[in-house]
Amino acid sequence: MAWLTMGLRVSFVGIERVLLRLLGDDTHPLATSVLFFGTGALLLLPLARPWTWSDWSYLRWALPNGVLYALAYAFYVSALSTGEVSVIAPLGSTVSVFVIVFAFLVYAEPLGWGKCLGALFVTGGAVTLQPGRNLRQSLVSLLQPGPGRAMLIYALLTSVTRILDKGASASGVSPATYACTVFATVAGLQALWLLAQGLGREILQPLQRQPVIALCAGVCNAFSFLLLIEALHVFPVSIAEPLTAFSLLVSAGVAAVFLGERLAPRILPTLGIIAGTWLLAIGVGPGQAFSFLR
């Protein structure tokens, strides 16, 4: 069941990225994010059943995480709204590099040579996906203002949220209750920011222009997060997050079909990132590569 949960999460995340790219044309990135999380919160509300809540202690995890997610997804949606999915999405896998470091510091999860090698693979793949004739130019391109840097900031912030997600899952809170609260916090904070900037009319524009895509994106977001919290009951966070990198294959395939993106120049760097995240997931010595499957 745990592997089915991760498999479904991988599929939802892969499709979600392409839907966000389709929503990104001519819409404010934060408006897309408000709709993205607001729809997810509404979908999860019947499962969360707030009228039955008696223990509110989980808010110590949910509210700080909601603030961090609001910041992280502002960068995430902005990056996917303006960049090519097959280039920008793999950069999100750098969250795995940050996660293994934080998981080691906070939860004392093992940090061995396998994980260090995996981090190099992920970083190298992310850099070579960027425009440039050599590694130095590609790195400079990545660090300049734009969708690449926005996705790196998203990865750093998200790595912190994953640590909090693990803490929430260990506390025994209902995944639906936790996810619904986080999503409502994100949508509320981002909506308030748009209203303060006089951009309240932007919030419903993605839904008015592309209602089916907007609703499908909300469904993918809600259930991919719910599945992550469920998976964290079984997997260490330093394994669950890298496994999500296989969603890159889903994103690349869907982007090629629906967006017409060319995949050939990106195949090797993307495979390098996937190989690196697999090493991050196993993070052990020879002969133990599949020990966590048992």
Question: Which of 291, 229, 209, 246 shows the shortest CA–CA distance to 92?
Answer: 246
* C-alpha to C-alpha distance for 239 and 291, rounded to whole angstroms: 12
Tell me how far the alpha carbon of residue 208 is from its chain's centroid: 25
**What length is written for the chain?**
294
**Predicted TM-score of the model (pTM):** 0.69
Map residue 282 onto helix, strand or coil: helix
* C-alpha to C-alpha distance for 106 and 290, rounded to whole angstroms: 24
* C-alpha to C-alpha distance for 232 and 94, rounded to whole angstroms: 19
Q: Would you state the pLDDT for residue 271? A: 67
* C-alpha to C-alpha distance for 61 and 185, rounded to whole angstroms: 12
Residues 284 and 110 sit within 8 Å (Cβ to Cβ): yes
Report residue 284: phi and psi, to 5°: -135, 180
Output the six-digit token pair for 111.
Answer: 């940090």
235: DSSP letter: S
The full 3-state SS of 194-218, as one line of letters, equals HHHCCCHHHCCHHHHHCHHHHHHHH
* C-alpha to C-alpha distance for 234 and 169, rounded to whole angstroms: 10
Tell me how far the alpha carbon of residue 63 is from its chain's centroid: 18
pLDDT in tens, the chain (294 residues): 667 888 888 888 888 878 877 776 667 777 888 887 888 898 888 888 776 677 777 888 889 999 998 988 888 777 776 666 656 666 777 777 787 788 788 877 766 666 677 766 666 666 665 555 455 555 555 566 677 778 888 888 988 888 888 888 777 778 888 889 999 999 999 999 889 888 888 878 777 777 888 888 888 888 888 888 888 777 777 677 767 777 767 777 777 766 666 655 556 666 666 666 666 666 543 344 334 344
* C-alpha to C-alpha distance for 12 and 217, rounded to whole angstroms: 9
* Helices within 49-174 (DSSP H only): 59-82, 85-88, 95-107, 113-128, 135-143, 147-170
Question: Which of 242, 189, 179 shows the shortest CA–CA distance to 68?
Answer: 189
Q: Which residues contact 23 (CB under 8 A, 6 or more apart)?
A: 32, 35, 81, 206, 210, 213, 214, 217
Output the six-digit token pair for 59.
Answer: 């808010």
